[in-house]
Amino acid sequence: MAPAASLSLSLHLRLAPPPPHRRGRPPRHAPFLPLSPHHHHLRVAHHHVPDPPWRRGVRARAGTIQAPGLARPGGAVETDRLPSGVRDRAMEAVDHFGGRVTIGDVASRAGLQLAQAERALQALAADTGGFLEVSEEGEVLYVFPKDYRTKLAGKSFRMKVEPLIDKTKEVGAYLVRVSFGTALIASIVLVYTTIIAIISSSSDEDNRGRRRRSYDSTIIIPTDLFWYLDADYYRRRRRVEKEDGMNFIESIFSFVFGDGDPNDGLEDKRWKMIGQYISSNGGVITAEELAPYLDVPPISEQSKDDESFILPVLLRFQGHPEVDEQGNILYRFPSLQRTASSKGSGVREYVGNKWSAMFSSVEKYLEEKPWKFSKANASERAMVAGLGGLNLFGVIILGNLLKQMTVPPGGLISFVAQLFPLLQVYAGSFFAIPLFRWFLLRKTNNGIERRNKAREQRAQELALPEPSLRRKLLSARDMAQRKVITPEEIVYTTEKDLLDQDYEVKEWEKRFKELESD
């Protein structure tokens, strides 16, 4: 008897029973209900079962299928429980593959963990009327309607408010930057006005007129600091915004605090590149191929045989090592070998420069961007530093004057005396923070440069591989297996009423009996 004669097919679908008062025939199109990770795969068991139990299970549940609670109007939206980044990346992958995907398709395209991709697909299908398809080999596909985004947007309150929240965050960040810059101008004006007031108050009454005239001529100095009264300011502002994307007030914040992480989103990009690389190469790769995308040490005799850097990839995409006939260690990712799309399904026959030219959809190595001290140009930074120095000098002078006098209650001098500790902190931190950042950025950029150089070396090694590495790469290409699941291979779908698939059930029983009789 052929080994295939002992195969039996077990379908595990968890379907919610209807309320007691709802009876009758189930709906024509059975909506998708989120499934447990342990209840959605078709499994091929290697033990003989006389009567396939999945048929009885399917028929027993045929009269109990109903729309899941998640799909009811006013009910909870399952997608809202997902992190927005996971949801958006999963939807981008679904769109890329035309609405018919496997878990491996989404994981590789979006760079998600397999469990994350599975959870995202279940939530999207539950909220948008998606359904499952099961192939002859037990592979599960998720199929979405063309308007699934519209359906989801109509149900999800979170997706409606997220653009407003993002806009609010942008406005808030802008206000913080502008407020910090405006505080510098206000501090300069307040400090120098108070200095002049103290000097004026110490003069004799006979000289008050002369002092007033001196005050009038001196006050022009802080007035001149109001750059926005400069007739040439608006022309300079338009030029600065065009060249650097920020105005002068924002450049003050940029000088002190910087402009944020230039590598924001780098990890998402890294895993997308790795997932797409593995999938495009048939799910079998070498460690050397993924080294240009990971944090690896420079090439040396000590690090030559160290492949521990690939462990995070194995955990994320559920891969495992295999040894080929030549004793080379290769890594297979079964979940990324099965796809619902024929895109990029060609066999990679070459390695080295020819192969690199063919495989141009993914960057050759992951490059981190160095941190910049400030995106403001040199003239803006010089002007900001000058204003900061002027403010610091004024605070020092004002502090000495306040120590030498008795502050009268009320008035400008009393107000500034109470505010003086904050003025000191602001003036001191205006240079202390940038100085600390400068030393920190030097260390950070040195590390970025080392990592970029190491990854570039690994990429160059792949472009011009040694004979041993070439044989290893060719062995990985020979072991690659990229299975495209076509609609003709589908034997079950939750789109149809289970009773309407009774014909397919009988056909499967017939085929099992034929296998058993061989």
Handedness of CA 349, 354, 359, 362 (dihedral sign): positive
Task: Give dist(CA 426, CA 398) in Å, integer.
Answer: 14
Q: When comparing pLDDT for 230 and 501, which is higher?
A: 501
Would strands 338-339 and 483-484 be described as parallel, antiparallel, or unpaired? Answer: parallel
- Count each helix (H run) and each strand (E run) in the chain, helices first: 18, 11
What's the pLDDT score for residue 83? 94
The DSSP secondary-structure symbol of 371 reads P
344 has a pLDDT exceeding 50: yes
What's the pLDDT score for residue 308? 92
Closest CA to 71 of 105, 31, 113, 104: 31
Cβ within 8 Å of residue 143, ≥6 positions away: 99, 100, 130, 131, 132, 133, 493, 495
What's the pLDDT score for residue 97? 93
Task: Give dist(CA 411, CA 201) in Å, integer.
Answer: 12
Task: Read off the pLDDT of each residue in 131-136 and give the average, rounded to a whole number.
Answer: 89
* Token pair recorded at residue 360: 């141009």
Task: Give dist(CA 380, CA 245) in Å, integer.
Answer: 13
Q: Is 277 within 8 Å of 285 (Cβ atoms)?
A: yes
Q: Render pLDDT for 347-394 as a digit per residue (tens, 0 to 9).
A: 454 455 444 444 445 678 999 999 999 999 999 999 999 999 999 999
What's the pLDDT score for residue 93? 95
Task: Read off the pLDDT of each residue in 431-441 and give the average, rounded to a whole number.
Answer: 95
Phi, psi of 64 (to 5 degrees): -120, 10
53 has a pLDDT exceeding 70: no
What's the pLDDT score for residue 316? 96
What's the pLDDT score for residue 505? 53
Task: Give dist(CA 299, CA 497) in Å, integer.
Answer: 59
Q: When comparing pLDDT for 405 and 168, which is higher?
A: 168
Q: In the chain, what percentage of residues exceed pLDDT 70?
A: 69
Would strands 131-135 and 490-493 be described as parallel, antiparallel, or unpaired? Answer: antiparallel
Average pLDDT of the chain to the nearest whole number? 77
What's the pLDDT score for residue 28? 37
What's the pLDDT score for residue 450? 95
43 has a pLDDT exceeding 60: no
228 has a pLDDT exceeding 70: no
Rounded (10°) angle between helices 114-128 and 84-96? 80
What's the pLDDT score for residue 384? 94
What's the pLDDT score for residue 504? 55
CATH number for the segment(s) 77-155+488-517: 1.10.10.10
What's the pLDDT score for residue 486? 87
Q: When comparing pLDDT for 62 and 259, which is higher?
A: 259
> Range with the lowest mean pLDDT among 138-152, 184-198, 300-314, 386-400?
300-314
Cβ within 8 Å of residue 364, ≥6 positions away: 292, 356, 459, 462, 463
What's the pLDDT score for residue 309? 93
Task: Give dist(CA 46, CA 275) in Å, integer.
Answer: 32
253 has a pLDDT exceeding 90: yes
Q: Render pLDDT for 306-318 as a digit per residue (tens, 0 to 9).
A: 899 999 999 999 9
Handedness of CA 487, 488, 491, 496 (dihedral sign): positive
Closest CA to 296 of 310, 277, 282, 314: 310
What's the pLDDT score for residue 460? 92
Task: Read off the pLDDT of each residue in 222-230 and give the average, rounded to a whole number.
Answer: 39
Residue 299: band (very low, low, confident or very high) from pLDDT cuts 50, 70, 90: confident
Q: When comparing pLDDT for 436 and 228, which is higher?
A: 436
Cβ within 8 Å of residue 253, ≥6 positions away: 176, 177, 178, 180, 181
14 has a pLDDT exceeding 80: no
Residue 499: band (very low, low, confident or very high) from pLDDT cuts 50, 70, 90: very low
Cβ within 8 Å of residue 115, ≥6 positions away: 37
Q: Is 11 within 8 Å of 42 (Cβ atoms)?
A: yes
> Range with the lowest mean pLDDT among 17-31, 170-184, 200-214?
17-31
Q: When comparing pLDDT for 473 and 43, which is higher?
A: 473
Task: Give dist(CA 153, CA 159) in Å, integer.
Answer: 6
Residue 413: band (very low, low, confident or very high) from pLDDT cuts 50, 70, 90: confident
In which residue ranges of the chain is CATH 1.10.10.10 found?
A: 77-155+488-517
**C-alpha distance from residue 32 to each of 76, 93, 114, 376 (Å):** 15, 19, 20, 53
121 has a pLDDT exceeding 90: yes
What's the pLDDT score for residue 437? 95
What's the pLDDT score for residue 203? 61
224 has a pLDDT exceeding 50: no
35 has a pLDDT exceeding 90: no
214 has a pLDDT exceeding 80: no
454 has a pLDDT exceeding 50: yes
Sheet containing 100-101: which strands, arranged edge to edge? 100-101, 140-143, 131-135, 490-493
